[in-house]
Amino acid sequence: MDGLAYASAVHFVWWCMQYSATVETSFEAGHLIEGHRTCGRVHGHHYRVQATALGHMQRDGTPVDMFELRQATQALADECDGRYLNEMLPGVIPSPHGIARWFMERLLDQWPRVAEVTVWERPCCSGTVKREV
Ligand SMILES: [Zn+2]
């Protein structure tokens, strides 16, 4: 393989790789999970949300527009901020997994390649929802 063919092959492999980008935001909200050992009464958390989207390399070197993904995730966090999640998210059990699924479903309206959302309820505890992309 000559130098040009090698460079093209390396470039082709680099171009075909799948990349991901993760953004993070946070919000404060209250919730109640009936019958739950630690969340069984009304209380609040400082939630952290991480959203990951997949992409292929673009000519500008950015497979995922992290600024726009962050803006979309932040807009949803802003909707939740200062709210009582049991009222705000009807039909959703406001556990980290339930909140992560809500974020995932809403982000998919704009970001079909969102692959994973993690919601941290405390520094030690998170819930993640993943999907095949
Ligand atoms: Zn709780």
Residue 11: CB atoms within 10 Å: 11
Residue 116 near residue 130, CB atoms below 8 Å: yes
In this prediction, residue 12 carries a pLDDT of: 65
- Positive or negative CA dihedral for 77, 79, 80, 85? negative
Q: Where are the domains of the chain?
A: 19-130
pLDDT by 10-residue block (mean), the chain, 133 residues: 66 76 97 94 98 90 91 98 96 97 96 95 96 90
- Expressed in angstroms and rounded, the spacing between residue 43 Cα and the centre of ligand 1 is 6
pTM for this entry: 0.87
Architecture per CATH, domain 19-130, reads as 2-Layer Sandwich (3.30)
- Expressed in angstroms and rounded, the spacing between residue 38 Cα and the centre of ligand 1 is 7
- Expressed in angstroms and rounded, the spacing between residue 108 Cα and the centre of ligand 1 is 26
